[in-house]
Amino acid sequence: MAYKREIAIVLLMILLLCGAWILITRVGSSSGAAQTEFVTKAVHNAALTCYAVEGAYPSSLEYLRSNYGLAYDQSRYMVRYDSFGSNLMPDISVTEVEASDS
């Protein structure tokens, strides 16, 4: 009888560990998406601030970094900043760079 009880406890522990692993992986992926959205908003807000101050959108991302204090982890995020003109909002997209195992 004690043998069956020990098996039930081990199975319960395995189920709890699997549930915890699933929960941790879901939380990790959702926080990554939130951080990508945060970087996107930071770039967007810096461009809007530049437009409000100077009357024109900046032509490059480097201009925002050097003049408006835009900072993000460049090894983790790839930002595409396409400027179409000084009076048009640039096209901004942020992609999280996948970590390499090497």
User: How large a percentage of the chain has pLDDT more than 90?
Assistant: 55
Q: Which residues pair with 2 in a beta bridge?
A: none
Whether 55 is covered by a domain: the verdict is yes
- Examine residue 76 and state whether it is found in any structural domain, yes or no: yes
Domain presence at residue 63: yes
Mean pLDDT, consecutive 10-residue stretches, the chain (102 aa), reads 77 75 65 85 94 93 93 93 92 84 50
Name the nearest CA neighbour of 50 among 74, 67, 33: 67
Domain that holds residue 35: 31-96
68 inside domain: yes
pLDDT value of residue 3: 79
Pairing of strands 91-96, 77-82: antiparallel
Total domain count, the chain:
1
In a domain, 81, yes or no: yes
pTM for the whole structure? 0.67
Q: What is the pLDDT of residues 63-87, one digit of tens each?
A: 999 999 999 999 999 999 999 888 9
Which string of DSSP letters, residue by residue, matches 22-79?
Answer: HHHHHHHHHHHHHHHHHHHHHHHHHHHHHHHHHSS--S-HHHHHHHH-----TTTEEE
Q: Residue 15 domain-assigned?
A: no
Task: List beta partners, residue 63.
Answer: none
